């Protein structure tokens, strides 16, 4: 039984462990046994040495085996990090570039606007009116918007009509100087005053108001035009009728003056009749102009704009007055 068990043990259990130990011994070399004993310190150190050597060998072999992957992972990580970093720098550079391009475009637009403004100012500094002796800049097609050009041209024609009537009126008084009539010198002098003062005053008081009102779309300029142009229309109507007085008996070439001049001299009477017809046409044209400008002013909302501007000015005046009171 013992031999059988031994045989069984040696056959079944014995030889395989022995071969396993032999394989382990062959795989892991052991140090020679220490003379102090199996359980001594030397044995422990000798036994630990191969393990330490084994651990060192495994540690050495492990970084060498995994080093490629680790380095690859590190390289991949570095590449990934570098890619992310380069992507962030690229996006920031693109944002800065787009910002610079936008600012450059804005500066170019402002520069173009300034050049256009300088060109307009230089054109305005170029005096072009009147043609014979330019003293100011005047261009309806360039400065007036298309919607307001018609009424401005009508006012311009009315101004030229006034100039023609005043010149003809003075010519009539010059004709009367050769006639044997009373108050001919004072009438000539008054007609000359009307000519000298009427031309520039009519330009600045009502025509320039109409011009600036249509140019800047200013309600106040239109209001001032209506006031002074109404005075101009009344003056033309008075000149067409020409009620005689002592000082200005011949100063206006109207119908009543023309009838009196026909009694004195036929040629002088005809000249005065032509003047009366000119004043009549100008008075009728002036009535048409003021109505047309009013329709234009009302059609574009001028009355409402005038009210709004007045309300704004009143509110601004009240605010300033309140600020002064608070400071006091």
Q: Is residue 266 part of a domain?
A: yes
Cβ atoms within 10 A of the Cβ of 284, count?
Answer: 14
Q: Are residues 185 and 299 in the same domain?
A: yes
According to the model, what pLDDT value does residue 186 have?
92
Q: Is residue 163 part of a domain?
A: yes
Is 52's pLDDT higher than 90?
no
**Of residues 318 and 86, which shows the higher confidence score?**
318
According to the model, what pLDDT value does residue 125 have?
66
Is 61's pLDDT higher than 80?
no
Q: Are residues 320 and 241 in the same domain?
A: yes
DSSP SS3 for 129: strand
Q: Are residues 92 and 195 in the same domain?
A: no
Query: Could you give the number of structural domains in the chain?
Result: 2
Q: Are residues 111 and 244 in the same domain?
A: no
Q: Cα 254 to chain center, whole Å?
A: 54
The count of C-alpha atoms lying within 13 angstroms of the C-alpha of 160, restricted to the half-sphere facing its C-beta, is 7
Query: Confidence class of residue 99 from pLDDT cuts 50, 70 and 90?
Result: confident
According to the model, what pLDDT value does residue 309 have?
66
**Residue 301 — left, alpha, or beta (φ > 0 → left; ψ -120 to 50 → alpha)?**
left
Range of the domain at 323: 148-327
Q: Is residue 268 part of a domain?
A: yes
According to the model, what pLDDT value does residue 93 have?
82
pLDDT average, residue stretch 297-311 = 66
**Of residues 87 and 117, which shows the higher confidence score?**
117
According to the model, what pLDDT value does residue 83 have?
46
Q: Are residues 212 and 91 in the same domain?
A: no
Query: Confidence class of residue 117 from pLDDT cuts 50, 70 and 90?
Result: confident
Q: Is residue 29 part of a domain?
A: no
Domain boundary among the residues 125, 140, 158 is at 125
According to the model, what pLDDT value does residue 95 have?
79
The pLDDT tens digits of the residues spanning 119-169 come to: 777 765 688 899 888 989 999 998 999 999 999 999 999 999 999 999 999
Q: Are residues 80 and 167 in the same domain?
A: no
Q: Are residues 223 and 84 in the same domain?
A: no
Phi, psi of 136 (to 5 degrees): -155, 170
Q: Is residue 36 part of a domain?
A: no
Q: Are residues 103 and 217 in the same domain?
A: no
Please state at what angle helix 184-202 crosses helix 149-176, rounded to 10 degrees: 160
Q: What is the pTM of this model?
A: 0.60
Is 30's pLDDT higher than 70?
no
Q: Are residues 182 and 94 in the same domain?
A: no
Q: Is residue 262 part of a domain?
A: yes
Q: Are residues 109 and 154 in the same domain?
A: no
Residue from 239, 134, 260, 226 nearest 195 by CA? 239
Q: Are residues 154 and 303 in the same domain?
A: yes
Is 274's pLDDT higher than 50?
yes
Q: Is residue 210 part of a domain?
A: yes
pLDDT average, residue stretch 243-253 = 84
Q: Are residues 173 and 319 in the same domain?
A: yes
Domain boundary among the residues 93, 125, 157 is at 125
Q: Is residue 51 part of a domain?
A: no
């Amino acid at each position: 039984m013992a031999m059988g068990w031994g045989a069984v043990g040696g056959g079944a259990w014995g030889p395989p462990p022995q071969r396993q130990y032999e394989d382990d011994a062959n795989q892991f070399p052991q140090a020679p046994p220490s003379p102090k004993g199996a359980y001594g310190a030397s044995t422990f150190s000798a036994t630990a040495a191969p393990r330490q050597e084994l651990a060192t060998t495994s540690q050495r072999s492990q970084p060498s085996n995994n080093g490629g992957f680790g380095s690859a992972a590190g390289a991949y990580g570095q590449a990934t990090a570098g890619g992310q970093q380069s992507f962030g720098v690229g996006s920031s550079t693109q944002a800065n570039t787009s910002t610079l391009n936008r600012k450059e475009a804005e500066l170019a637009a402002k520069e173009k606007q300034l050049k256009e403004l300088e060109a307009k100012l230089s054109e305005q500094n170029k005096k072009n009116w009147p043609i014979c002796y330019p003293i100011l800049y005047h261009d309806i097609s360039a400065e007036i918007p298309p919607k307001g050009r018609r009424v401005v041209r009508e006012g311009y024609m009315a101004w030229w009509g006034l100039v023609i009537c005043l010149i003809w009126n003075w010519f009539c008084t010059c004709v009367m100087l050769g006639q044997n009539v009373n108050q001919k010198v004072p009438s000539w002098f008054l007609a000359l005053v009307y000519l000298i003062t009427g031309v520039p005053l009519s330009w600045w008081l009502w025509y320039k108001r109409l011009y600036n009102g249509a140019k800047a779309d200013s309600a106040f300029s239109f209001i001032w035009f209506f006031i002074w142009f109404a005075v101009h229309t009344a003056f033309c109507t008075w000149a067409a009728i020409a009620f005689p007085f002592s000082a200005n008996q011949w100063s206006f070439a109207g119908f009543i003056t023309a009838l009196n001049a026909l009694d004195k001299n036929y040629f002088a009477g005809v000249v005065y009749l032509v003047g009366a017809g000119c004043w009549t046409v100008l008075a009728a044209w002036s009535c048409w102009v003021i109505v047309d400008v009013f329709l234009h002013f009302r059609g574009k909302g001028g009355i409402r704009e005038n009210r709004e501007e007045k309300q704004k000015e009143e509110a601004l005046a009240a605010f300033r007055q309140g600020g002064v009171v608070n400071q006091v």
